[in-house]
Amino acid sequence: MTEIASPQANPLLAGLKMRRPPDPCALTIFGASGDLTQRKIMPALYSLAMRGLLPPRFGIVGVSRTEMGVDEFRERMRRTVLDHARDEFRTDVWERLSEAICYVTADFGVEGGEEPLVECLNGLDERRGTAGNRVYYLAVPPSAFDDIVVALGRSRTTEGWTRLIVEKPFGRDLTSAQELNELIRGHFDEDEIFRIDHYLGKETVQNMLVLRFANGIFEPIWNRQFIDHVQITVAESLGIEGRASFYEAAGAVRDVVQNHLLQLVALTAMEPPIDFAAESVRNEKVKALRALHTPGPKHVVRGQYGPGYIEGEEVPGYREEEGVAPDSQTETYVAAKLFVDNWRWADTPFYIRTGKRLPKRETTIAIQFKRAPHPPFEVDEEGGLRPNVLLIHIQPDEGVSLAVGAKVPGQGITIRTVHMDFLYGGSFRMGLPEAYERLILDCLLGDATLFTRADEVEEQWALVDAMVAPWRRDRPHFPNYAAGTWGPPAADELVHRDGRSWRRH
Provide the CATH number for the domain around residue 87: 3.40.50.720
Annotated catalytic, 374?
A: no
For residue 486, give the nearest of 467, 503, 468 by alpha carbon: 503
Residue 210 and residue 150 share a domain = no
What does the alpha-carbon distance between residue 193 and residue 184 come to, in Å, rounded to a whole number? 8
Residue 347 and residue 452 share a domain = yes
**175 in any annotated domain:** no
> Helices 42-50 and 70-84, interaxial angle, to 10°?
80
**11 in any annotated domain:** no
What does the alpha-carbon distance between residue 316 and residue 117 come to, in Å, rounded to a whole number? 44
Residue 244 and residue 118 share a domain = no
pLDDT of residue 17: 47
The per-residue pLDDT string of the chain (505 residues; one tens digit each, 9 = 90 and over) reads: 555 654 444 343 444 445 678 999 999 999 998 889 999 999 999 999 999 999 999 999 999 988 889 999 999 999 999 999 988 999 999 999 999 999 999 888 777 778 889 999 999 999 999 999 999 999 988 888 889 999 998 888 778 999 999 988 788 999 999 999 999 999 999 999 999 988 888 877 777 888 888 888 888 999 999 999 999 999 999 998 888 888 998 899 999 999 999 999 999 999 999 988 889 999 999 999 999 999 999 999 999 999 999 988 999 999 999 999 999 999 999 999 999 999 999 999 999 999 999 999 999 999 999 987 766 666 555 555 678 899 998 888 788 888 877 777 766 676 777 788 887 666 655 566 788 999 999 999 999 999 999 999 999 999 999 999 999 888 889 999 999 999 999 999 999 999 999 987 6
Residue 381 and residue 288 share a domain = yes
pLDDT of residue 335: 97
Residue 259 and residue 130 share a domain = no
Residue 444 and residue 376 share a domain = yes
Residue 145 and residue 213 share a domain = no
Query: Among 145, 167, 189, where does a domain finish?
Result: 167
Residue 233 sits in a domain of what CATH number?
3.30.360.10
pLDDT of residue 11: 41
**413 in any annotated domain:** yes
Residue 216 and residue 135 share a domain = no
Query: Could you give the angle at the alpha carbon of 367 between the alpha carbons of 429 and 374, nearest 5°?
Result: 120
- Domains identified in the chain, total number: 2
pLDDT of residue 292: 96
Residue 456 and residue 349 share a domain = yes
Q: What spatial distance separates the first Cα and last Cα of the chain, rounded to whole Å?
A: 52
Identify the burial level of 71 via C-beta atoms within 10 angstroms of its C-beta, where 0-12 means exposed, 13-18 middle and 19 or more buried: exposed
Residue 216 and residue 102 share a domain = no
How far is residue 68 CA from its own chain's centroid?
A: 32
84, 187, 229, 260: the catalytic one is 260
**173 in any annotated domain:** no
Contact call for residues 285 and 266 (beta carbons, < 8 A): yes
Contact call for residues 3 and 74 (beta carbons, < 8 A): no
Task: Quote the domain boundaries for residue 392.
Answer: 200-496
**185 in any annotated domain:** no
Q: What is the DSSP string of 178-240?
A: HHHHHHHHTTS-GGGEEE--GGGGSHHHHHHHHHHHS-TTTGGG-STTTEEEEEEEEE-SS--
Residue 146 and residue 240 share a domain = no
If you compute the radius of gyration of the chain from its CA atoms, what whole number of angstroms results? 24
Q: How far is CA 211 from CA 120, 214, 263, 394, in A?
A: 45, 6, 17, 13
What does the alpha-carbon distance between residue 97 and residue 78 come to, in Å, rounded to a whole number? 10
Query: Among 117, 143, 167, where does a domain finish?
Result: 167
**191 in any annotated domain:** no
Residue 230 and residue 345 share a domain = yes
